[in-house]
Amino acid sequence: MKPSEFKDFKTVKDKVHFLLLTNPSLRDNDMKLIATYYFHEIGKEEIDTLTAYDLLNKISSSKMTNFETIRRLRMQIQQHDDTLRGSEYKNRKKKVDPFFRVFLRD
C-alpha cells in the first residue's frame, strides 16, 4: 500500500516529493512549500494553539526541518523529474537567448 498522507512518509525527500506531486502551486514558490511542509510537520491540532513566538523558537532551536534542506531537495527532485517543475521554470527557459541555451543544463 502506497502512502497517501504527508505523515506516512519517512524521509524529508519523500515528503517534499509528495507535496510537489499533490500541490502544483508549491512548485514555483519555496516559501509556500516550506510553510506547507511546516504546517504538516507540526500538525493541525498543534498549529491551532501555537503562537508565533513558539513557532520561531521551534525553528531556531532546530526542532523543525531546516528550510534550506527543503529547498535543496525541491531543486534536486525537480532536476530529476521535469514533470514536477513549475510553470515559472518553463517561462524562464523560453526567455533565454538561443545562443546561451547551449550552455544551460536541463
Residue 102 in grid coordinates: 547551449
**CB contact set of 77 (below 8 Å; sequence gap of 6+):** 13, 16, 17, 20, 84
Which residue, among 67, 72, 74, has the nearest Cα to 26 in the 3D structure?
Answer: 74
Which residue, among 99, 89, 82, 102, has the nearest Cα to 30 in the 3D structure?
Answer: 89
pLDDT in tens, the chain (106 residues): 466 889 889 999 999 999 999 999 999 999 999 999 999 999 999 999 999 999 999 999 999 999 999 999 999 999 999 889 887 766 666 666 666 666 665 5
Identify the H or E element spanning 19: helix 12-22
Q: Give the per-residue pLDDT at 86.
A: 82
Which residue, among 16, 49, 13, has the nearest Cα to 30 in the 3D structure?
Answer: 16
Q: Give the per-residue pLDDT at 43.
A: 93
Q: Give the per-residue pLDDT at 69.
A: 97
Domain locations in the chain as residue ranges: 9-101
pLDDT digits (tens, 9 = 90+) for 37-60: 999 999 999 999 999 999 999 999
Q: Give the per-residue pLDDT at 4.
A: 82
